[in-house]
Amino acid sequence: QTLCCVSPQEVGPTMVGDEHSDPNLMNYLGATKRNMLGNHFWEYYVNDAPRVVLDKLENRGYRVVSMTGVGQTLVWCLHKE
């Protein structure tokens, strides 16, 4: 399973999934589903800082496989075997 986390800053909020994400995992993260004005898709987000989200995902067996910055947005891609 692959998951990407996106944060516009280092303190949150953090986007943790899309409309097809595992609802049990989204519940574990405390994520809320939202649709931003103008988007034709739903996303899950939490108000936690990325480090809190990454710690929770590590406890569930996810590992960071890549990280990049896009402008002032940070993106982490994680994988669980």
User: Cα–Cα distances in Å, from 32 out to 7, 16, 43, 52?
Assistant: 15, 9, 8, 16
| Residues 6+ away with beta carbon under 8 Å from 3 | 16, 17, 21, 25, 57, 62, 77, 78, 79, 80
What is this structure's pTM?
0.81
- Are 54 and 20 within 8 A, CB to CB? no
Domain that holds residue 65: 2-80
- What pLDDT does residue 9 have? 64
Domain total in the chain: 1
Q: In whole angstroms, give the CA distance from residue 2 to residue 38.
A: 26
Three-class SS of residue 22? coil
- CATH assignment at residue 43: 3.30.1410.10
**What's the average pLDDT block by block, 10 residues per block, for the chain (81 residues)?**
67 85 95 84 90 93 91 88 80
